[in-house]
Structure 1
């Protein structure tokens, strides 16, 4: 699973292009979040994201990727990732994960969020919160990490600590089949970024690396299967899942979260980590 391919190191100029793509992704996810109310179809959400991306003069990373037919992935309840938008409508209490990527001048950025619709089970709200928090803990670990797999170790530790949450019915599951990844001139590149503590330490963290960090956490077991559409990934036990992701640049000055409007300032400051933007947006 862990790629041994050469890791693409980005220049400052290339990171700035990825930042532009990252802000397009942020705009698209904001628009989808604003439109997500009970009764809207997942294909309508896809159309909203596609319009935002096109209006920005960017291109969707997902559309046509290995035959994928849409601009975003919309995964509902027990769907973990890669849900194909269609006629299905979201309902009150649903847990909806949206994954989006955009390309600017050949450079990619990728991010995901989970939205819990009104009248939700408090345990689903807790699931969403601990998944997002684990993502930020993993990003924060990059600040001082010598090796990349410190990210997965931090995510696993964060999820384990959250297992004592009062709304947790049982320990949360960390999906292992799907992991974060390098990103840049292609959407998926070396290296893989696991969301758990592997046996090895992983590649050395170096300036110029850009990675997408994306924990996928379930309210039950971590095991998954792929549906008949050959894309949608669901939990084996029907447990609900959440998915959060950001694209992060590592440069000589520090970290910069390319898909967060504030570069990750607020959530990383909570963890004692400063961000280092490369230019004023």
Structure 2
């Protein structure tokens, strides 16, 4: 293994008790843990890598387990809590405003906004919780009450908050209060965070419009909450779609396929 085996085994134990880990993922993790009598730590991890590989190739692992798999193979990005850097520097102006949305893993929430005219920056981070400066491990473990979210800094002369909200509704399953698609857990719940009364009015009206359209068989459960402190995520989470384009495209393909299926299902 290219990473320290003992550190990886400690992370394995954390994944076992992580509520976001799926049952069948947990089964493989527990199986690897219980092999310590027959295999060395390196042997345990090699066997687990082989067991997870078919699922990892199809991007069918939850984000934490996928990161663990990449660490086993020596491909994990190095976590850091340094100053956040994004692909485009931001310059504060009287016309710059911000919007904050949560809709599943923030890796897939950046690119759809980032490619629009008038967007100055899209930052991945955490909000809605009680802890200060939460880490990815703490949030994904559901210890802090935060959700993964994106903070969008935009020029209000070029793109409106209404347009951003309209984009947001196209990216999520608004009937799922327990996560989004393959992302399960309270840290992935869909939320529109409003910064002022104007944003609140637009968010409420947009939600009512989705309800009135009756395009979904289940209730619309997207929460609308006041914006709290937004904590930028670690640098290796920023601009994920640019840093890991192949992995992002696989995730996006799965994401888009599910949303297309959902629209087709609700149509009939």
What is the TM-score with the length of structure 1 in the denominator?
Answer: 0.26
Q: Highest CA radius of gyration, 1 or 2? A: 2
Greater helix proportion: 2
More strand by share: 1
